[in-house]
Amino acid sequence: MPASDLESLKTDEWRRMLDVNISGVLNTVAAVLPHMIARKSGHIVNMSSIAGRKVFQGLSVYCATKHAVAALSDGMRMELAPKHNIRVTCIQPGAMETELFEHVSDTGYRATMEGLRDQMKCISTGEVGETIAFALEAPAHVDLAEAFIMPSQQPW
């Protein structure tokens, strides 16, 4: 999640975000989908972000990649559930306790993001895991298509 203004032209960071956030999801889907289709069941959980629905200054490229994951997930759900009994869930967390802030090379944006930890208690990976478990445990005819999980104190 590198953050910087577009005019900084950090194209290497852009490519890495595209590779991880979009190509990574597509490559994973390509790896598991033939097996799920063969057994006529499965559940794919994709990780997007609140940035997949809201755009934040300095995160334009990151937001674009997370929008792509949300759109892909919805399309997958529509295509795969009726034909192959494969459910798709898109998890869209808000502020989390992760190492993502360490990848921000712009010092101004990094300080702002690290300041979030002082403003609210961020959600943990375990709390996101509980949300994923909830989606996976839903009855077979139910697809929790999207889940936003955010700190209760997060204003955006």
Choosing from 14, 62, 101, 109, which is the catalytic residue? 62
Q: Is 62 a catalytic residue?
A: yes
Query: Which candidate, 12, 112, 1, 10, places its Cα nearest to that of 48?
Result: 1
Please state the φ and ψ torsions of residue 88, each to the nearest 5 degrees: -135, 130
Alpha helices in 57-97 (DSSP H): 60-84
Helix (H, G, I), strand (E, B) or coil at 63: helix
Cβ count within 10 A of residue 123 = 21
Query: Which candidate, 4, 19, 23, places its Cα nearest to that of 113?
Result: 4
Catalytically annotated residues: 62
